[in-house]
Structure 1
Amino acid sequence: MTTNRRPMLALAASLALLSGCSSFGPVTSGTDDPCATLQSVVADYTTGFDAYRGNGSSYAMVTLYRAKEQLIKGHCEIWEWGNGDAAYTCTVGAPNQEVATAMYQQANNQLSACLGENWQGTEAGRERDGRPAGEVTRYQNSGKAGPAVSLHRVQDRSQHSVYLYIGTPGRSPEPAN
């Protein structure tokens, strides 16, 4: 897979521009080469993202680690459940649906470019309690089994966010039917 850092840098820049005028603050990349970091995070899935675990906090059913390398500075962490499942996630809040949709579309374009041609995305709606709750794009590697990689635009009442999920397929939220 060819490493191209421009797409993720463009993603960080576009997120910064989109959220810079809100109370959510600017969003920037936490790594010099986001595409290479993304590819390394995906490859480290088999170790439970061990190479990316920073300081952790344990709770009854999960341990949360601050990610040592952050695709989106200050917004990424690693979740590890008691059964050994793990996920690398980044979540960014948005002030409204328009900004969240623009962030989601731009991030989807950049994520697709960074993952490369072996990964195919499938879009679907998200649903919560029988009501529309955003959208999701799930990426699947046609070459081999691996982690679930998905990008979500979440809409919950008046709150909006976009999050990246890399981890155990069984933990990735299912799309609406």
Structure 2
Amino acid sequence: MIRILSAAICLISISGCGATLTPEQSAYVDSLTPCEKIQGLVDSFDNGFAPLKATRVQNNFSDIWTPKYHLLGNSCQIIGFNANRMAYKCAEQYDDETQSRESFDWAVEKVTSCLGSQWQASETLQNDSKRITFKHTNHTAQISIQSGKTLAKYRKTWQTSFEVGDLIAQ
């Protein structure tokens, strides 16, 4: 527990405006466990993931930041449609269903073991897609993990996604 709290404090301290982490900051982020990363995401949600934001890109519809760490693959983003709607989203594509389901199972196991039984999980199955959403009565953030077939036309691929936020489609 102490390590999780110190991780959150350190994440806040590395939240400088620059897009590049110092070597010391990179080494620290690289040493974080998946549980510390998940807890950091939940803890920083109400602050718009401020300590985790790096490079920012704006368009007409949203602001997008690269995060200071990735929980699933290397394709995570922090997306903000406005000050009140933010999400940390990752998606990883795979050539077959087995790889996608293994990634999905790993993420579900990590969230379950890291956050504990007070986070209630609900499962949704639709066609070839499976989603588990975690909610807690004392947290506004939701966690959603999904695995399913992509809509790619020419090549059958599978995707696993991980999201912390309030943009989750229910």
When normalised by structure 2's length, the TM-score is 0.74
Question: After TM superposition, where is structure 1 displaced by more than 3 Å over at least 4 residues in a row?
Answer: 1-4
1:135 to 111, 130, 148: 130
- Secondary structure of the corresponding residue to residue 47 of structure 1: coil
Instruction: Tell me, yes or no, if the aligned pair for 1:30 and 1:74 is still in contact at 8 Å.
Output: no
Structure-to-structure mapping, 1:98-117, within 5 angstroms? 98-117=98-117
C-alpha deviation, 1:31, in angstroms: 4.9
C-alpha deviation, 1:3, in angstroms: 6.6
Residue deviations 1:110-153, cap 9 Å, x none?
Answer: 22111212112111114xxxxx24110010114x1321111011
For residue 172 of structure 1, what is the aligned residue in structure 2? 168
Alignment: residue pair count: 142
Structure 1 vs Structure 2: percent identity of aligned residues?
16
For residue 152 of structure 1, what is the aligned residue in structure 2? 146
Are 1:162 and 2:160 matched, yes or no?
Answer: yes
Instruction: Tell me, yes or no, if the aligned pair for 1:64 and 1:77 is still in contact at 8 Å.
Output: yes
When normalised by structure 1's length, the TM-score is 0.71
Instruction: Tell me, yes or no, if the aligned pair for 1:30 and 1:70 is still in contact at 8 Å.
Output: no
Deviation larger for 145-154 or 66-75 = 66-75
Over 3 Å counting, the alpha-carbon distance change for 1:135 and 1:155 in structure 2 is same
- Output the aligned Cα RMSD: 2.2
Residue deviations 1:98-118, cap 9 Å, x none?
Answer: 221222122211221112121
The one-letter code of the counterpart of 1:159 is T
Over 3 Å counting, the alpha-carbon distance change for 1:133 and 1:30 in structure 2 is farther
> Separation in 1 of the partners of 2:31 and 2:148?
25
Instruction: Tell me, yes or no, if the aligned pair for 1:119 and 1:141 is still in contact at 8 Å.
Output: yes
> Separation in 1 of the partners of 2:139 and 2:92?
28
Instruction: Tell me, yes or no, if the aligned pair for 1:52 and 1:69 is still in contact at 8 Å.
Output: yes
Deviation larger for 59-68 or 101-110 = 101-110
The one-letter code of the counterpart of 1:40 is G
- Secondary structure of the corresponding residue to residue 46 of structure 2: helix
Residue deviations 1:5-47, cap 9 Å, x none?
Answer: xxxxxxxxxxxxxxxxxxxxxxxx9552221121011011111
Instruction: Tell me, yes or no, if the aligned pair for 1:94 and 1:100 is still in contact at 8 Å.
Output: yes
| 5+ long unaligned stretches in structure 1 | 5-28, 127-131
| 5+ long unaligned stretches in structure 2 | 5-28
> Separation in 2 of the partners of 1:70 and 1:106?
15
